[in-house]
Structure 1
Amino acid sequence: MTFFEDLRAAREGVLSLGFWALQVYRFGHLRYRFQSKLVRYPLGALHIVLSKVAEMLCGVTIGVSAKIGRRLVIEHSGAIVVHGNAVLGDDCIIRQGVTIGNRYMDKPLDAPVIGQRVNIGAGAKILGAVHIGDDAEIGANAVVLKDVPAGAVAVGVPARIILRKSEL
């Protein structure tokens, strides 16, 4: 069950605000499993309330229709926004001040696709329909506007891509 996997992955355990914000997202996403409006609507209404509480208390906003893999770690909560169309793979780490969202107002559905085991530094912004490869690292305060290959590091504003020696 993802609840216990998320709990084991959270370094602070049940005291982690990021863990609880993630559980609110998972609860809201649960409603997509039901076809009946008698089930979906009450779950949706409850999720709206819980997500606003999570925003206020945890500082984390996760779009309910985002696709988030297993064992996501929100290491330090606060000022984190994940677009509703974003995709995050398994075992990713997000730190405070991260935005994963769209880049242009006229393309509101464009959102990043982030691979497995991606480490996203504090204050990083990943914007638009970009793909971040598996095992990539996004440096603190980087602004990623283009694809990052698997295993690479993205740093700077705008982010420049650095291939690791094993990738050369």
Structure 2
Amino acid sequence: MLKQLKEDVQAVFARDPAARNTFEVLTTYPGIHALIMHRMAHELWKKDCKTSARILSSFSRFATGIEIHPGAKIGKRFFIDHGMGVVIGETAEIGDDVTLYHGVTLGGTTWNKGKRHPTLEDGVVVGAGAKILGPFIVGKNAKVGSNAVVTKEVPEGVTAVGNPARFIFKNKDKSTENEHEQRRRSYAESIGFQPYAATQDQSDPMLEGMRVLLDRIQHNEKRINDLCHQLSLLDPTYNKQQDAEPYSEEELKIIEEVRRECEAQSQQSKA
């Protein structure tokens, strides 16, 4: 117990630059207080002293603002920074070296008994206000952004952001993209379109809409360029109808102006 407490305190120093000394951590950090009482409540829970465990858990919630069900399994060097509003459900499982910030909820989405809360593997970091809901796994060293709402499994090493959460994969190999995706990416870069925190394989309705718009814009731009090219080849001296009157000086000026504009548009597209 004391060895585990020592590791928990060392985890605070490793992840919180505001920590100054051991005495201050032990007396002023609610995350440490909640963790100590949870470990005691969890032992009571395993020994089938469930009422005593729940009473201790309720007192911990009152004293720290952190609610951890005594049935939750928590690994080594667990750190709750600030802690106010953190809720951890009964069947939640937390690995080693996990960090939670204030307002995090590890909750369930069903009233059925059994596994209904998430499992956080080693090294996971969950930002302030994030909600992880359901009996799935958040992979090793994954990160969940602030205020994200996660309702599906998070792969190892991935960052989940947004509501509903979408995944950001680091160092994605662009060679695996098909020709259509490469063309879309090149066109988006050419017009300065840079989606923030967006990846090619995420299921995001807004991003899908932007993809459709990019394809449509590119298609329309190609048609306009083709039209401009044909207009630039227009010969104002040609007149199929022999009895038709020749173009006036004003009409010839308009045709010449259209030709210049089309040529400029074509050169800009090539550049």
Range of TM-score over shorter length: 0.7 to 0.9
The counterpart of 2:8, out of the listed 6, 9, 28, is: 6
Give the AA of the match of 1:7: V
Superposition TM-score, scaled by structure 2 size: 0.55
Looking at both structures, which has the greater relative contact order when contacts are Cα pairs under 8 Å and sequence separation is at least 6?
A: 1
Are residues 1:21 and 2:21 paired? no
2:140 is matched with which residue? 134
Counterparts of 1:10 and 1:167, CA distance in 2: 36
More strand by share: 1
| Post-superposition offset of 1:22 | 0.8
The counterpart of 2:130, out of the listed 124, 128, 131, is: 124
1:21 to 1:167, Cα distance in 2 relative to 1, 3 A: farther
1:58 is matched with which residue? 64
Residue by residue over 1:87-125, the C-alpha shift from the partner in whole angstroms, topping out at 9 and shown as x without a partner, is 111000001000001013346741101110000000000
Of 52-61 and 63-72, deviating more is: 52-61
User: Contact (CA 8 Å) 1:100, 1:125: kept in 2 or not?
Assistant: yes
Alignment RMSD, CA only?
A: 2.0
Q: Which protein shows a greater Rg?
A: 2
The counterpart of 2:43, out of the listed 30, 42, 57, is: 30
- Identity value in percent: 35
Give the AA of the match of 1:118: V
Counterparts of 2:51 and 2:113, CA distance in 1: 27
Of 88-97 and 6-15, deviating more is: 6-15
Runs of 4+ in 1 over 6 A off after TM superposition: none
1:105 to 1:30, Cα distance in 2 relative to 1, 3 A: closer
Gaps of 5+ in 1: 35-39
User: Contact (CA 8 Å) 1:88, 1:114: kept in 2 or not?
Assistant: yes
More helix by share: 2
User: Contact (CA 8 Å) 2:44, 2:53: kept in 1 or not?
Assistant: no
1:37 is matched with which residue? none
Gaps of 5+ in 2: 14-18, 20-24, 175-271
Counterparts of 1:115 and 1:85, CA distance in 2: 14
Counterparts of 1:75 and 1:8, CA distance in 2: 13
Counterparts of 1:128 and 1:69, CA distance in 2: 20
Give the AA of the match of 2:7: E
Are residues 1:79 and 2:85 paired? yes
Matches within 5 A, 1:100-115: 100-106=106-112, 109-115=115-121
User: Contact (CA 8 Å) 2:54, 2:69: kept in 1 or not?
Assistant: no
| Post-superposition offset of 1:31 | 2.5
